[in-house]
Amino acid sequence: MREQKAELRQNMLHYLRTIEETQFKKKCAQISARLIMDPLWQSARVVAVTISMAREVETRSLIESAWASGKKVAVPQCEPKTKTLMFCPIDSFSSLKPGHLGLMEPDVSKTGRIDPADLELVIVPGVVFDRRGFRIGYGGGYYDRLLSIYQGPTLSLLLSDQFIDQIPAEAHDKKVQVLLTEKDRIDTGGFAGHAYGNKGERAD
Ligand SMILES: Nc1ncnc2c1ncn2[C@@H]1O[C@H](COP(=O)(O)OP(=O)(O)OP(=O)(O)O)[C@@H](O)[C@H]1O
Ligand SMILES: [Mg+2]
């Protein structure tokens, strides 16, 4: 399973690098425009968003838009020892510094932290997805760990090319509730669901 996921991840990362720059930017802009109109985004007052890198759907403009509409933005900091994420509120990109694996991370001494229970929407990053809401991330299990405790709304931003038929999901893999691509919006009904025993219901 692990090797199968690794191969699917590598193939997709390779494919993403082959997309022509203007095409990629155009798709990102379409996805962003959809997100900003999305009820899940519009109703969330506190949103958790990663700082995008290379061939990930671009998030800086989304963060700026969130600030402009009065939302609180929380960005993750990786804790490699425990493979957990800590979320820090930022109101400026100057609170970021290069961190784990070259990712831009918040400087906790400047930002403080936010309780995951206070997040109202988590934008979940991923490399490969299926239409059930399962995903392959970068392999650390960081987001699966977060989603085992965070029960609120989740949404992923992806190019429609990032879908495959079926992710080989394991028991710890958590579904994402809403998948937004440049072409469509899929509500998986998977509120904090997982591979086995998902009732697809919200806890509250
Ligand atoms: N809730 C959890 N508790 C303990 N270990 C976990 C949990 N979730 C995932 N893991 C472990 O993390 C490792 C990586 O998981 P997986 O291959 O699903 O990563 P991923 O989904 O690509 O990563 P991410 O969630 O960071 O995007 C697995 O070995 C798995 O056992
Ligand atoms: Mg996983």
Does the C-beta of 145 come closer than 6 Å to ligand 1? Answer: yes
Please name which of 68, 25, 27 lies closest in space to residue 160, comparing C-alpha atoms. Answer: 27
Which element (helix H / strand E) includes 87?
strand 84-90
What's the confidence (pLDDT) of residue 189?
Answer: 87
Instruction: Indicate if ligand 1 lies below 6 Å from the C-beta of 173.
Output: yes
Q: State the distance from the centre of ligand 1 to the C-alpha of 136, rounded, in angstroms.
A: 9
Question: Which ligand 1 atom lies nearest to the CA of residue 146?
Answer: 1
Distance of CA 85 from the midpoint of ligand 1 (Å): 12
Largest CA-CA distance found in the chain, in angstroms, rounded: 44
Q: Please say if the pLDDT value at position 40 is more than 60.
A: yes
The two structure tokens encoding residue 90: 């930022």
Whole-angstrom Cα distance, residue 202 to residue 151? 8
In this predicted model, what pLDDT tens digit does every residue of 16-27 receive, in sequence order? 999 999 999 999
Helix (H, G, I), strand (E, B), or coil: what is residue 157? strand
Six token digits for residue 138: 């970068």
* pLDDT higher than 60, residue 196: no
Q: Is the CB of 148 under 6 A from ligand 1?
A: yes
* Ordered domains of the chain (ranges, CATH): 2-187 (3.40.50.10420)
What is the pLDDT at residue 191? 55
Instruction: Decide: 143 in ligand 1 pocket, CB within 6 A.
Output: yes
Task: For residues 129 and 143, give the distance between their C-alpha atoms in angstroms, rounded to a whole number.
Answer: 14
Nearest CA to ligand 1 atom 15: 141
Mean of the pLDDT values across residues 106-134?
96
pLDDT tens profile 44-64: 999 999 999 989 999 999 999
Ligand 1 atom closest to the CA of 124, numbered from 1: 27
Kindly tell me if the per-residue pLDDT of 203 is higher than 70.
no
Q: Across all residues in the chain, what is the average pLDDT?
A: 92
22's enclosing H/E stretch is: helix 21-37
